Amino acid sequence: MSKFIHLPGIGNSGSNHWQSLWEEADPSIARFSPASWDEPKLSDWIAALDRAVRSAAEPPVLVAHSLACLLVAHWQKISVAPARGAFLVAVPDPSSAAFPGEAAGFAGPPRERFRFRSMIVASTDDPYGSLGHAEARAAEWGSDLKIIGAAGHVNGQSGLGDWPEGLALLRAFAG
């Protein structure tokens, strides 16, 4: 199946989000499928991620955005399914006033080193997670950190289009 699995955040990634545009350009990229994008339940999202990883022909690279970054942190602690790495974009801060209440179950992610390689991609003006928060998670999770400047929440509203710089970062990470 796929060498990359996309993990959108709450609400899924719309048609102008880089994840959707990358999938459109490369149909081999899989997207995990939780029961609800709008009312996320951690146990359901963990089960959906585990199914997606176990159905991959080889250990995949997880490409997570926003809430799904916290999902990866929780999942990697309790699952033994193999992943080649995690590319984590716009890690949100559950203690932030902007954090959606319906995602409260994702708070308190494990704070220890991941069992596979990871990279956090952070914007300097993300309304859902400060640069300091991204730096702290990178230190705890053992993640490389790439700061991309002012790109908001690195989503469809950020005006990145198909975000070629992000795709180059992912390719370099996955290579």
Residues 127-148: tens digit of each pLDDT: 999 999 999 999 999 999 999 9
- Per-residue pLDDT tens for 57-109? 999 999 999 999 999 999 999 999 999 999 999 999 999 999 999 999 999 99
pLDDT given at position 114? 98
- Residue 23 belongs to domain with CATH number: 3.40.50.1820
Both tokens of residue 91? 């890690």
**Which pLDDT band, with edges at 50, 70 and 90, does 28 fall under?**
confident
User: CA-based Rg of the chain, rounded to a whole angstrom?
Assistant: 14
Segments forming the whole domain that contains residue 28 = 4-174
Q: Render 13-68 in DSSP notation, one character per residue.
A: --TTSHHHHHHHH-TT-EE---S-SSS--HHHHHHHHHHHHHHSSSPPEEEEETHH
Q: State how many domains the chain has.
A: 1
Cα gap 85→62, rounded to integer Å: 6
pLDDT for 1? 41
**pLDDT tens-digit readout, 154-164:** 999 999 999 99
Q: How confident is the model at residue 2 (pLDDT cuts 50, 70, 90)?
A: low
